Amino acid sequence: MFVGETTYRPEFTEDEEDDDEALDGLALLEALAAWFDAARPAGAPFLCGGPVPPGVVAPTVIANAAPHLNVSCREVFAPVVTVTPYHDFAEALAL
């Protein structure tokens, strides 16, 4: 956004425009539902939120999600946060 502008215009680089993994709209909701479905049986409890009703992502807090799960290692374009305990700073960096 530039000074004096009143609307948001995202500035894309050539690489971002060609990103096949970019998700939007329905694809984002479907992917997020799959990520949630994978996190639950992997032992990640949902402290709040979780369901993905049509067109809505409830604010969601997920605890103890393993680092390899998509909800932990991918950028989630929704109100979702993971909380992972650690014993010391070195362990936190390793996650």
Q: Which residues of the chain have pLDDT under 70?
A: 1-24
Name residue 64's beta-bridge partners: none
Check residue 47 and give its pLDDT: 95
For the whole prediction, is pTM greater than 0.85?
Answer: no
Check residue 30 and give its pLDDT: 86
Q: Do residues 58 and 49 lie in contact, with contact meaning Cβ atoms separated by under 8 Å? A: yes
Q: pLDDT tens digits for 23-40?
A: 567 788 888 889 999 999
CA 30 to chain centroid: 12
Element (H, E) at 17: helix 14-17
Amino acid sitting at position 67: P
Check residue 23 and give its pLDDT: 52
Q: Do residues 43 and 70 lie in contact, with contact meaning Cβ atoms separated by under 8 Å? A: no
Check residue 38 and give its pLDDT: 95
Q: And the tokens for 82?
A: 């993971």
Check residue 27 and give its pLDDT: 82
Q: Do residues 17 and 10 lie in contact, with contact meaning Cβ atoms separated by under 8 Å? A: no
